[in-house]
């Protein structure tokens, strides 16, 4: 279930940003988490990929159709994961190997 504008307002306030598009929420929350002082930053892969409702794992209150989303080989391509690498490097979380 997508949040309406009123439902998203607290998220944008917490991010310290003016209201934006729904597709901008996950990247903004990831950037906030990755820039935190926490030892670990963890996010659902669907949010890392900025996928929509079609990639939901679970819909509370719905007994059927949950836990069906699967990652494909295409989603593991370096070009797809480059934004995550850039975010991780920019936040100083990229380990030097």
3-14 pLDDT, tens digit each = 566 677 888 888
Whether residue 46 lies inside any domain: the answer is yes
Output the average pLDDT for the chain: 87
Whether residue 81 lies inside any domain: the answer is yes
Whether residue 10 lies inside any domain: the answer is no
Q: What is the pTM (predicted TM-score) of this model?
A: 0.77
Number of domains in the chain: 1
Whether residue 62 lies inside any domain: the answer is yes
Tell me the pLDDT tens digit for each residue of 12-33. Answer: 888 888 887 778 888 999 999 9
**67 three-class SS:** coil
Q: Please give the residue range of the domain that contains residue 47.
A: 26-90
Task: Give 89's DSSP letter.
Answer: H
- Tell me, what's the pLDDT at 3? 57
Q: Give the mean model confidence (pLDDT) for residues 49-78.
A: 89
Whether residue 96 lies inside any domain: the answer is no
Cα gap 12→23, rounded to integer Å: 12
Neighbours of 70 (CB within 10 A): 7
Cα gap 49→91, rounded to integer Å: 18
């Amino acid at each position: 279930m997508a949040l309406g504008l009123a439902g998203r307002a607290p998220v944008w306030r917490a991010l310290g940003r003016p209201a934006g598009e729904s597709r901008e929420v996950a990247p903004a929350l990831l950037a906030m988490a990755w820039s935190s002082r926490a030892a670990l930053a963890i996010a659902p892969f669907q949010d890392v990929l900025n996928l929509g409702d079609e990639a939901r794992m679970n819909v509370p209150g719905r007994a059927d159709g949950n836990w069906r989303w699967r990652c494909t080989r295409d989603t593991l391509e370096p070009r797809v994961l480059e934004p995550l690498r850039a975010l991780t490097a920019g936040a100083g979380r990229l380990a030097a190997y």
